[in-house]
Amino acid sequence: MSEKDSLTDNSHGKEVASTAVDWFYCPRCDKTLSQNEKTEHDDWHMAQDLEAEDQAASTASQRPPAYATPAGLPSMTTTTNVFVTSPPVSTRVESLGRHPTYYHRNVLTDASDVRARDEQEMQNALQTLQMQYRIYNPEVEPEHEFDGWCYCPIHQYMRLKMSRYGVQDMWCRAVLYPGEKRYMDSNNLQSNSLWNYNPYGRQNVCSPYGYNIGWATPTRPIPEYHERFILQTMRLNHNLNEAAQRNIDAREPKVNIWIDHSLDTSMSGLSINEFPEEKKSGRDDAKSNASSSLPPRSNKSTKPSRFSSFKKSLGIKSAEEKDAERGSSLKQAILAEEAGRWPDAQWRDLVLSYQGKIGIRAKVALLRDRYPIQYLYLLQAGYFEPIPVAWANLASNPLKFSIEAASGWPGITPGWRGYEDTAEERLYWVLNHRQGVAGTRLKPDFVSVMQMALARMASAVEPPPEYFSSDDTCHIQHTSTGYSKQVMPPPFVPHDRPEETTDDTMILLDISGSMDFDPMRPIYNRYLIMDYFKTTQPKNKGHHSPIFPLSQTKLTNITAAAKAIVKRFTDAMINHDHNSRGYDLVTFSSHARHVGTINHTNFSQLWSTIHFGGGTRVMTGWQRVKELHFQKHSESATHHPIYGWQAGPQTPILRLLLLLDGEATDMDEFELDLLGLSWAHVTIFLIGVDGCPHHHRHANELQRISDVNPHVAFVDAQGNMPERFVTHELLKRHLGRQISLHEFESMEALPAYSESA
């Protein structure tokens, strides 16, 4: 979710109580509505459902190529299968378990099922509370402490957190490594007991509110204490992560569990006198060869002690026997998990191919051979295989779980502290362990992120004057003069192959609630956001919708700029490849929709059907784009029941233009999915508010992803943007080649008129 989504999109709970108006939560749009808006909003959803049913019916006869059924499983051609291959419009996997995502079950999938039931509700509840008390930093929770409990919203939220202790305990048992201890929220009453020592308690990390918290009225965070809170948390995260990694490395088996050591162990427990005497000389060599494999013996007597015999009679095992037993148990657990997750050779080949594409095959082999405990934990979490396609349309999935070190909600890897969610943790694990990566690509800490954002913001310069256009949005609306300073993109260097005539161009547009609100800029005091204020960026009021009130249909500069960029890009592409039919346009917020094929003649008509609102879940739109692409090219691809479409050698390249106005809630999941794809080239355009550190923070992150993935390109603009300059830079990266200014101007020209058209 973008920063503005978290401030203005009322996705904060299933029902929000108000003293004056009843509010209702719409889970499909991920926003809160008033009583007056609810009826019209329900009618709009009904119209969307009817449209979706018509679309599904029109494609019901298109079924993807079948993936080979694993040995021992029912055929995929019946309706009572473990796997059912559905039409591309609604790809779905039916499972014998409780969750539609998993075929193979383990302790982590069970815990994920339970946690997913109310994970989104808890995240929405926290956002509601933060908004209510004007707390804009997501890492800060409201505090209200005194010697008892009241019925204020803060204590109600604390009770809600404590009611999840059973879920938290189940999750911790599934993901914590041997030696790690579970603990609860440091603010709970029982957090200081002996059985629940929280390292993030007040003795190690101060409160961002200071030490004088009000008795009856919650106070706001204090910038000085918040800065201290940030620095102490960062330091503690680093120390605990290093200690956890050392601990689990020390607990790994000392021997290779894939080699059978039982013979050596049994022979090492025998004394020389226990071997039968061989009188024939032909047996002497065999005996000497066998004894040479034994460990060197001391001069002490090799006769077993009476104490060891006594321990053996009581069933007490030696350290070597215990290690061998643990290694054998670990080996069997790994083999069972691998057999369950990847049931046949074709499935395993697909997984190996994925590991090779994202560059972790060597790391996976090393973990399996030398660090089997860590290998098993990551294997259970699905780190070594593609992301299940069903996760894209789930509001909460195992890649959307929040990681809260201070509250005792851990991640998957030993160094989980400091990540926001499990998707970010997995993304950086892959980036850190890709083959050919020099050094460790650590996630920047909070302070470094802000410093880099401010440095990037300060590097903005005036855009090139040759791209001036009097019909740019900012000049038509005249709310401020001139263009905003822009951060110039790095000189274009082609990394991926240039376009071919068979490539498939599509457009994916963010229509979340933040696209429909006034551009806001944060006011910082150190690292604490004190408030937001409106910028001078222009607004453009759109047509009045019969479904939404006028206040909800107004289009901001961000929306108007997105419309202008899409129009300029589409016109230039049609002039370039003479594709008068146009290009598929998909929109996404909390859900995705295929708007249609957009071109010169129908642009205004199709754009008028777009309604802005909801959250920012890019994976829903990305999944819809993939379905459309493979519907066109299904003859060259295959469809896997869990991982979805798999491109073949002859599948055309998908070239996607993605327009965002901020950070999507599942952006890390999207970036992770792109790492494993060689058939897609994505150009991301990020639209931002002028002088906003959040925009530059997200731009830095996207630039880092673009630097490590040759199939991803990135351009951004802020404030009053020069639309021609932006379009030119986007076309270079979309087409994968250098485009001169003269060629770009020819692509901008109106298409020639023809009688046939």
Q: Which residue has the higher pLDDT, 499 or 266?
A: 499
pLDDT, mean of residues 565-580:
94
The answer to whether residue 381 scores a pLDDT higher than 60 is yes
Residue 575: band (very low, low, confident or very high) from pLDDT cuts 50, 70, 90: very high
The pLDDT of residue 277: 42
Q: Which of 43-57, 124-138, 395-409, 714-728 has the lowest mean pLDDT?
A: 43-57
- What is d(CA 429, CA 149) in angstroms, rounded to the nearest whole number? 42
Helix (H) or strand (E) holding 529: strand 528-534
Distance CA 1, CA 6 (A): 7
Q: What is the mean pLDDT of the segment spanning 76-90? A: 29
Residue 324 included in any domain: no
User: What is the distance between the alpha carbons of residues 549 and 514, in angstroms, rounded to a whole number?
Assistant: 17
Query: How far, in Å, CA of 515 to CA of 612, rounded?
Result: 7
pLDDT, position 443 = 81
Highest mean pLDDT among 142-151, 441-450, 739-748: 739-748
The residue type of 726 is V
Domain stops at, among 170, 190, 220: 220
**What's the whole-number mean pLDDT along residues 9-14?**
36
pLDDT over 70 at 115, yes or no: yes
Comparing 40-49, 52-61, 236-245, the range with the smallest average pLDDT is: 52-61
| DSSP-assigned letter for residue 305 | P
Distance CA 358, CA 426 (A): 12
How many other CB atoms are found less than 10 A from the CB of residue 123? 22
User: How far is it, in rounded angstroms, from Cα 244 to Cα 59?
Assistant: 52
Measured distance CA(402)–CA(423) in Å, rounded = 9
* Average pLDDT, integer, range 476-489: 86
DSSP bridge pairs for 513: none
Cβ(226)–Cβ(220) below 8 Å = no
In a domain, 95, yes or no: yes
Question: What pLDDT, on the 0 to 100 scale, is given for residue 476?
Answer: 86
pLDDT band at 278 (very low <50, low <70, confident <90, very high): very low
- What is residue 131's predicted lDDT score, i.e. its pLDDT? 92
Cβ proximity of 606 and 596 under 8 Å: yes
Other beta carbons within 10 angstroms of residue 338's beta carbon come to 18
Range of the domain at 657: 503-748
Supply the DSSP string of 356-381, one letter for each residue.
HHHT-HHHHHHHHHH-HHHHHHHHHT
Task: Identify any residues that bridge with 639 across adjacent strands, giving them in sequence order.
Answer: 645
Q: Note the helical H segments in 435-525.
A: 446-458, 473-477
Least confident interval from 147-156, 382-391, 738-747: 147-156
CA separation for the pair 226, 143 (Å, rounded):
13
Distance between CA atoms of 340 and 382, rounded to whole angstroms?
12
Task: Give the integer Cα–Cα distance in Å for 613 and 515.
Answer: 8
Phi, psi of 580 (to 5 degrees): -70, -20
Q: Which of 142-151, 633-642, 746-755 has the lowest mean pLDDT?
A: 746-755
Residue 57 belongs to some domain of the structure: yes
Q: How far apart are CA 701 and CA 707, in angstroms?
A: 10
Would you say residue 665 lies in a domain?
Answer: yes
Domain boundary residue, one of 220, 247, 269 = 220
Highest mean pLDDT among 80-94, 154-168, 505-519: 154-168
Q: At 293, is the pLDDT very low, low, confident or very high (cuts 50, 70, 90)?
A: very low
pLDDT at 451: 94
What's the rounded Cα separation, in Å, for the pair 687 and 494?
A: 23
Confidence (pLDDT) at 299: 43
Strands 528-534 and 520-525: antiparallel
pLDDT digits (tens, 9 = 90+) for 621-651: 999 999 999 999 999 999 999 999 999 999 9
Task: Report CA torsion sign: 448, 454, 459, 460.
Answer: positive
Dihedral, 31, 32, 37, 41 alpha carbons, nearest 10? 30
> CA of 449: how far to CAs of 98, 223, 497, 694, in Å?
40, 18, 32, 10
pTM: 0.80
Which among 187, 220, 253 is the end of a domain? 220
- In a domain, residue 16? The reply is yes
Assess whether pLDDT exceeds 90 at residue 51: no
Radius of gyration of the chain (CA): 30
Phi-psi region of 500 (alpha: psi -120 to 50; beta: other; left: phi over 0): beta
pLDDT tops 60 at residue 144: yes
| Cα torsion 7, 8, 9, 12: sign | positive
pLDDT band at 96 (very low <50, low <70, confident <90, very high): very low
| Per-residue pLDDT, 152 | 86
CATH number at residue 695: 3.40.50.410
Q: DSSP string of 47-97?
A: HHHHHHHHHHHHTTT--PPPPPPPTTSPPTTSTTSS-----GGG-----SS
Cα-based angle 566, 567, 572 (whole degrees, multiple of 5): 100
DSSP H or E segment with residue 32: strand 31-34
Strand partners, 596: 585
Instruction: Give the pLDDT score at 219.
Output: 77
Residue 285 included in any domain: no
> Residue 712's pLDDT is what?
95
Predicted confidence band of residue 571 (pLDDT cuts 50, 70, 90): very high
**What does the pLDDT read at residue 57?**
43
Residue 262 has pLDDT above 70, yes or no: no
The reply to whether 147 falls in a domain is yes
pLDDT mean over 396-412? 96
pLDDT at 636: 94
CB atoms within 10 A of CB 611: 19
What crossing angle do the helices spanning 345-358 and 361-370 adopt, rounded to 10°? 110
Query: Which tokens in the block code for residue 274?
Result: 């226990």
**Number of structural domains found in the chain:** 2
Q: Please report the pLDDT score of residue 70 as a whole number.
A: 44
Statement: residue 116 has pLDDT above 50: yes
- For 700-729, the pLDDT digits (tens) are 999 988 988 889 999 999 999 999 999 999
Q: Using a pLDDT cut of 90, give the percent of the chain over it.
A: 57
Angstrom distance (rounded) from CA 290 to CA 285: 9
Task: State residue 583's pLDDT score.
Answer: 97
Over range 561-574, report the average pLDDT. Answer: 94
Q: Above pLDDT 70, what percent of the chain?
A: 71
State residue 308's pLDDT score: 58
- What does the alpha-carbon distance between residue 691 and residue 700 come to, in Å, rounded to a whole number? 15
Position 453 in a domain: no
Identify the CA nearest to 12 among candidates 120, 115, 116. Answer: 120
Strands 654-660 and 592-598, by their bridges, are unpaired
Candidates 172, 230, 228; CA nearest to 196 is 172
Residue 613 has pLDDT above 70, yes or no: yes
Local structure of residue 487 (DSSP, 8 states) = P
Dig out the tokens for 587 from the structure: 């929109």
